[in-house]
């Protein structure tokens, strides 16, 4: 039986830590959450020499062990708790060859915890390009460690790193320097008070607001008593500690690292001047977004049509091949369409994550965050809120999850609450069919009215998010420290392997996360639409046959009338009738009411529900449009889907809460039902009021 060791992969953001993780684990990795919290946990298995297996945890990026965000807390809590099942036998600190000085701060802190620590100097292929040379034996001696010089792009140094991990017991556990000299009396007193505890661990417990594992409760209380210094004094001590560490690092690098500045090519500065320019920067970003949206729209249409037709054919084939009965109906009308409703959005979500991953890997996304912070901060948001708001154009679920790296809880909460205003891909089917019914096909300055309407709906969603953020920032009385630090990494060509693995993991997370909820709700909706109380439902066939006995209807037409009558008197039909008085002022009838209720499972269900109500198969979208266009308003006469009711519907969906899946993810991220319920009430009320005003004004 082979032995397994725990390896913690630690490093600053943008040091290529993920590339090292991917190089070590390949496809043997999975993504989950740390128990009890929403921070993403990446782990994988790596086969080492001599039959040893390494369980590798890719910890969130952190600049130091002085935590400022939820992600960074995870790193400290694991390193302080020896009783955690994931506590590392060896820590692998990943640094970037161009930012070695800053990266070594974290390395020296981890060394003080007396964990065997290996230093990886990544992106070694850039050394010649940047005129950098390193004296590895000298650095190993001064830092009391073993060093692996790695280039994941050229696949160099990974085998050497595996060998070092295998022989981790040979790595010195001695610290690099004595940081306690910044206040000898204080630390000596601390050492005497707790002789059985590691000194630097005690220091972190005193200065950090984190959980610290199995330290005895009496010792914790004693530690609180030991905090004789004020918060300001402790902060000054932390600053002195940091200065001392950098003095040590500077002295080591004076000898161990030489840089020939004449060889360093400064393309980065020239690009930054353009991409972060106060005018051109925004224009370039806007153009990139247009290209991304157009590409997502164009590229995903073919696979989405294929998936749609495949699931429709599968449902039809199952209906014809399986014996008639409740199980067959559940399978063909509930489970298969439910699965199709999940899978059909994989292309759009995969393409969105492809583009976001490329932007992140290339180093451009950090520039966008820096650029947008100037605007976002005025509305109570962070520059880092841009990524969730962009991600929301595909799906709100991964977008809400993307708020985890926002340090300020207030800014993170506001971003979570306003992200669902962003137009997601599930709204597109609703927008497209309604726009095609009520907006004419003319052009303005070469742009079609329908295309301009769609663009306007996206802008309305983003505008609503920003305005709501401004209001929430004024209303929410949450005290939360707010500062903005973003690193500008070097520009580089994205690694195909990293991009591919990111797309795979994020798409898988969507399918299995949101998919379970969508599938369950689809089955519930099928039940509510397939059963109903009383004789009107149970004797529908007899009632309709008698009603149309005098008309020469074909069998197919008769079955369509029966299906429509049964749906109207099903549980979901009764629900539609019950809410009709509420939605009538918006220009909707009970059938649209059913579609709105159904679409709370997922917005795209709206079109499918109307297709069922109008007794039209899903195969021919044009026929659905024709039937919808022919629907008559029972009170006012004329088309039900006219300009007034169409605009009302578009605005309702622009502002309404997206779906139950979004509510579920907001609950998980905020760890409370308070915020998602407030979000639901506010967005639904706003959607109703705006749709009401639009219809009453336009009719």
User: Any known ligand binding at 310?
Assistant: no
User: Any known ligand binding at 13?
Assistant: yes
Cα–Cα distance for residue pair 683/9, rounded to 1 Å: 41
User: Any known ligand binding at 14?
Assistant: yes
Q: Are strands 4-11 and 90-96 parallel, antiparallel or unpaired?
A: parallel
User: Any known ligand binding at 60?
Assistant: yes
User: Any known ligand binding at 38?
Assistant: yes
User: Any known ligand binding at 39?
Assistant: yes
User: Any known ligand binding at 11?
Assistant: yes
Q: Tell me if 567 sits within 8 A of 612, measured CB to CB.
A: yes
* 3-state class percentages of the chain: helix first, strand second, coil last, to nearest 5: 65, 10, 25
User: Any known ligand binding at 17?
Assistant: yes
Question: Nearest Cα to 651, choosing from 595, 695, 610, 611?
Answer: 695
> Any residues with CB less than 8 A from the CB of 199 and at least 6 apart, and which?
180, 187, 190, 191
Cα–Cα distance for residue pair 267/364, rounded to 1 Å: 14
User: Any known ligand binding at 224?
Assistant: no
User: Any known ligand binding at 61?
Assistant: yes
| E-state strands within 203-348 | 257-259
User: Any known ligand binding at 36?
Assistant: yes
Q: Are strands 90-96 and 117-122 parallel, antiparallel or unpaired?
A: parallel
Backbone angles phi, psi at 28, to 5 degrees: -85, 55
Buried b (16+ CB within 10 A) or exposed e, 586-595: bbbbbbbbbb
User: Any known ligand binding at 581?
Assistant: no
User: Any known ligand binding at 16?
Assistant: yes
User: Any known ligand binding at 586?
Assistant: no
User: Any known ligand binding at 59?
Assistant: yes
User: Any known ligand binding at 118?
Assistant: no
Question: Nearest Cα to 145, choosing from 198, 182, 90?
Answer: 90
User: Any known ligand binding at 228?
Assistant: no
Q: What are 653's two structure tokens?
A: 């969906």
User: Any known ligand binding at 341?
Assistant: no
List beta partners, residue 259: 132
For tokens 């008309």, the residue is: 551
CA–centroid distance for 365 within its chain: 15
User: Any known ligand binding at 37?
Assistant: yes
**What's the angle, vertex CA 267, arms to CA 263 and CA 271, rounded to 5?**
165
Provide the 3-class DSSP secondary structure of residue 457: helix
Residue ranges at the known binding site for Mg(2+) = 22-23, 25-26
Bind-site residues: 11-18, 22-23, 25-26, 36-40, 58-61, 122-125
Binding residues for GTP: 11-18, 36-40, 58-61, 122-125
């Amino acid at each position: 039986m082979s032995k397994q060791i725990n390896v913690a992969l630690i490093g600053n953001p943008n040091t290529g830590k993920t590339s090292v993780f991917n190089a070590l684990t390949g496809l043997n990795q999975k993504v989950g959450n740390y128990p009890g919290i929403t921070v993403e946990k990446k782990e994988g298995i790596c086969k080492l020499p001599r039959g040893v297996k390494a369980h590798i945890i890719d910890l969130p990026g952190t600049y130091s062990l002085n935590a400022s965000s939820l992600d960074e807390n995870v790193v400290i809590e694991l390193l302080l708790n020896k009783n955690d099942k994931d506590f590392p036998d060896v820590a692998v600190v990943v640094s970037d060859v161009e930012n070695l000085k800053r990266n070594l701060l974290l390395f020296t802190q981890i060394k003080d915890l007396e964990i065997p620590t290996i230093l990886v100097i990544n992106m070694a292929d850039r050394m010649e390009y940047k005129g950098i040379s390193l004296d590895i034996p000298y650095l190993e001696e001064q830092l009391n460690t073993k060093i692996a010089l790695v280039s994941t792009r050229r696949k160099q140094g990974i085998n050497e790193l595996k060998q070092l991990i295998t022989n981790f017991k040979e790595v010195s556990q001695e610290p690099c320097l004595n940081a306690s000299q910044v206040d000898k009396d204080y630390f000596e007193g601390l050492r005497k008070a707790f002789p059985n505890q590691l000194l630097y661990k005690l220091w972190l417990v005193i200065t950090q607001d984190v959980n610290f594992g199995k330290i005895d409760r009496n010792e914790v209380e004693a530690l609180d008593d030991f905090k004789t210094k004020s918060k300001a004094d402790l902060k000054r001590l932390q600053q002195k500690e940091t200065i001392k560490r950098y003095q040590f690092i500077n002295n080591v690098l004076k000898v161990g690292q030489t840089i020939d500045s004449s060889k360093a090519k400064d393309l980065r500065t020239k690009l930054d001047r353009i991409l972060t320019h106060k005018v051109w920067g925004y224009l370039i970003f806007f153009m990139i977004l247009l290209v991304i949206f157009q590409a997502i729209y164009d590229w995903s249409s073919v696979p989405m049509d294929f998936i749609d037709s495949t699931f429709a054919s599968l449902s039809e084939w199952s209906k014809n091949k399986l014996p008639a009965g409740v199980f067959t109906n559940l399978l063909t009308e509930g489970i298969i369409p439910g699965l199709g409703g999940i899978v059909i959005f994989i292309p759009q979500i995969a393409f969105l994550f492809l583009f976001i991953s490329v932007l992140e890997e290339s180093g451009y996304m950090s520039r966008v965050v820096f650029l947008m912070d100037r605007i976002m901060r005025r509305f109570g948001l962070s520059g880092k809120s841009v990524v969730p708001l962009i991600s929301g154009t595909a799906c709100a679920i991964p977008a809400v999850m993307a708020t985890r790296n926002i340090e300020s809880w207030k800014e993170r909460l506001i971003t979570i609450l306003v992200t669902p205003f962003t137009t997601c891909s599930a709204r597109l089917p609703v927008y497209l069919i309604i726009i095609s019914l009520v907006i004419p096909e003319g052009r303005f300055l070469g742009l079609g009215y329908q295309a301009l309407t769609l663009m306007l709906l996206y802008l309305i969603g983003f505008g609503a998010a920003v305005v709501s953020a401004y209001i929430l920032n004024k209303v929410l009385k949450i005290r939360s420290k707010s500062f903005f630090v973003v690193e500008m990494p070097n520009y580089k060509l994205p690694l195909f392997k990293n991009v591919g693995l990111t797309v795979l993991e994020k798409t898988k997370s969507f399918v299995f996360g949101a998919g379970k909820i969508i599938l369950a709700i689809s089955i519930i909706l099928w039940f509510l639409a397939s059963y109903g109380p009383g004789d009107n439902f149970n004797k529908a066939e007899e009632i309709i046959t008698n009603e149309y006995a005098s008309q020469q209807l074909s069998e197919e037409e008769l079955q369509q009338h029966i299906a429509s009558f049964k749906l109207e008197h099903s549980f979901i039909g009764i629900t539609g009738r019950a809410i009709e008085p509420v939605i009538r002022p918006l220009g909707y009838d009970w059938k649209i009411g059913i579609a709105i209720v159904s679409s709370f499972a997922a917005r795209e269900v709206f079109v499918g529900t109307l297709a069922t109500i109008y007794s039209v198969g899903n195969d021919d979208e044009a026929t659905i449009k024709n039937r919808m266009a022919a629907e008559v308003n029972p009170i006012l006469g004329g088309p039900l889907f006219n300009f007034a009711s169409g605009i009302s519907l578009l605005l309702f969906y622009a502002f309404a809460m997206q779906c139950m899946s979004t509510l579920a993810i907001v609950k998980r991220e905020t760890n409370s039902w308070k915020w998602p319920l407030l979000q639901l009430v506010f967005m639904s009320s706003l959607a109703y009021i705006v749709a009401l005003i639009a219809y009453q004004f336009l009719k």
